[in-house]
């Protein structure tokens, strides 16, 4: 049985898109018959075996290659996700070379969020396979020196709760009438503040529409930003359960995450799986990713408000976006994504083990 170790720092207890992606991949790979474990951050002065979404996990205070190698049996594949933290990704490479196993990397985050671009580029060049989500991301990897032959394109997939009570969510939070949903970390790079600045333009066209925010505060000044835009038509639900997340997606008219620094936001896939169109702003690959499943707007409040109004008021446009969103979701299940990952793993395992010398050229 192929043994895979997935390494992702994570930001527990908050569940970011990359964290959800790592856990969804691990859970599906186990269903596919692989022996999968996760290595993640568990807090300060912390090291213990546990489970994350039913997947065996080793939770660490700090990335420690020797400690992980001692506590886990040798893996056939080491797969790191997310370069917004380089320490755990670098440890994953060290583990792979120590075990003589192929190293697979999913960057999962925009270049602008990497703490050290040079070190991140070195990891991309050292990887035996780099998993990307768009042609635009593949072009970035190639510019950083990653071998184009090693680039693998996969979709982004959603793994939502099994059931939800959309009407109950509306009742608990007094969400009467139509609303646009921002779902994710409240940070400027995700554009929650940009959506709030577009509110006046939205209400000039549709005063009945509410703006609902759901997700953990990330920037230090979130409370001040919300206070500056206080209005009864704006509701901040804070961090919500997986069941309520599904309920919010089903209850909303559209999902608006006007991010400008991103790769392939998981929330887009989650929205499409519920047949909801996505409204976002421009980032490398945005038009390619969104396609006919939403709208890509300019970054001004006027442009964003106009895009939201177009989705809300043009019934033919909205019907087409919802239809294409549903069709995309049907093609992008985690079963289909991990089928491609297993093909990649199989090709790598059929080759000779990578040279441990590569490890010496990568910053740790």
Tell me which fold the domain 166-331 belongs to. Rossmann fold (3.40.50)
What is the rounded distance in angstroms from the CA atom of residue 195 to the CA atom of residue 70? 48
Mean pLDDT score, 27-34: 96
Could you give the 3-state DSSP secondary structure of residue 7? strand
What is the rounded distance in angstroms from the CA atom of residue 197 to the CA atom of residue 42? 36
Give the per-residue pLDDT at 12.
67
Model confidence band, residue 45 (pLDDT cutoffs 50, 70, 90): low
Nearest-10 Cα torsion for 200, 216, 311, 208 = -50
Contact between 280 and 303 (Cβ < 8 Å): no
Same fold, 3-157+333-361 and 166-331: yes
Model confidence band, residue 44 (pLDDT cutoffs 50, 70, 90): low
Mean pLDDT score, 185-194: 96
Task: Please determine, for residue 53, whether its predicted confidence score (pLDDT) is greater than 90.
Answer: no
What is the rounded distance in angstroms from the CA atom of residue 290 to the CA atom of residue 129? 25
What is the rounded distance in angstroms from the CA atom of residue 77 to the CA atom of residue 198? 46
What is the rounded distance in angstroms from the CA atom of residue 297 to the CA atom of residue 122? 34
Q: Return the structure tokens found at 21.
A: 């992606």
Contact between 304 and 245 (Cβ < 8 Å): no
Task: Please determine, for residue 133, whether its predicted confidence score (pLDDT) is greater than 60.
Answer: yes
CATH superfamily of 3-157+333-361: Glycogen Phosphorylase B; (3.40.50.2000)
Give the per-residue pLDDT at 130.
98
Model confidence band, residue 166 (pLDDT cutoffs 50, 70, 90): confident
Model confidence band, residue 52 (pLDDT cutoffs 50, 70, 90): confident
Residue 209's contacts (CB-CB under 8 Å, 6 or more residues apart) are: 177, 178, 179, 180, 202, 203, 233, 253, 308, 312
Give the per-residue pLDDT at 154.
94
Give the per-residue pLDDT at 353.
52
Contact between 106 and 82 (Cβ < 8 Å): yes
Cis bond upstream, residue 156 (ω within 30): no
Task: Please determine, for residue 363, whether its predicted confidence score (pLDDT) is greater than 60.
Answer: no
What's the whole-number average pLDDT of the chain? 92
Give the per-residue pLDDT at 352.
52
pLDDT of 249-288, one tens digit each? 999 999 999 999 999 999 999 999 999 999 999 999 999 9
Residue spans of the domains in the chain: they are: 3-157+333-361, 166-331
More confident residue, 215 or 363: 215
Mean pLDDT score, 75-79: 98
């Amino acid at each position: 049985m192929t043994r895979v170790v997935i390494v992702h720092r994570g930001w527990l207890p908050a569940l970011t898109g990359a964290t959800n992606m790592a856990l969804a991949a691990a859970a599906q790979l186990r269903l596919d018959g692989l022996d999968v474990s996760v290595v993640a951050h568990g807090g300060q002065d912390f090291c213990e075996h546990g489970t994350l979404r039913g997947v065996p996990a080793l939770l660490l205070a700090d990335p420690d290659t020797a400690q992980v190698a001692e506590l886990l049996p040798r893996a056939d594949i080491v797969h790191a996700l997310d370069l917004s933290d380089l320490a755990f990704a670098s440890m994953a490479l060290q583990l792979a070379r120590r075990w003589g196993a192929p190293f697979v990397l999913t960057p999962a985050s925009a270049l602008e969020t990497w703490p050290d671009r040079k070190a991140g580029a070195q990891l991309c060049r050292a990887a035996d396979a780099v998993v990307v989500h768009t042609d635009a991301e593949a072009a970035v990897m190639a510019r950083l020196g990653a071998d184009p032959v090693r680039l693998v394109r996969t979709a982004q997939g959603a793994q939502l709760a099994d059931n939800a009570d959309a009407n109950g969510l509306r009742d608990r939070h007094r969400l009467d009438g139509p609303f646009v949903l921002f779902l994710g970390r409240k940070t400027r790079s995700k554009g929650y503040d940009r959506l709030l600045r577009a509110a006046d333009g939205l209400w000039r066209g549709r005063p009945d529409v509410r703006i609902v925010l759901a997700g953990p505060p990330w920037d230090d000044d979130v409370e001040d930003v919300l206070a500056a835009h206080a209005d009864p038509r704006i509701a901040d639900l804070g961090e919500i359960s997986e069941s309520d997340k599904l309920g919010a997606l089903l209850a909303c008219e559209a999902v608006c995450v006007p991010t400008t620094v991103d790769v392939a936001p998981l929330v887009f896939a989650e929205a499409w799986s519920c047949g909801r169109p996505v409204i976002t702003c421009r980032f490398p690959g945005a038009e390619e990713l969104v396609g006919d499943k939403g709208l890509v707007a300019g970054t001004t409040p006027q442009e964003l408000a106009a895009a939201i109004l177009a989705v809300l008021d043009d019934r033919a446009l909205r019907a087409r976006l919802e239809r294409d969103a549903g069709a995309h979701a049907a093609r992008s299940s985690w079963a289909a994504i991990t089928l491609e990952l297993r093909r990649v793993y199989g090709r790598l395992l059929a080759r000779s083990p990578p040279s441990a010398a590569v490890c010496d050229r990568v910053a740790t």
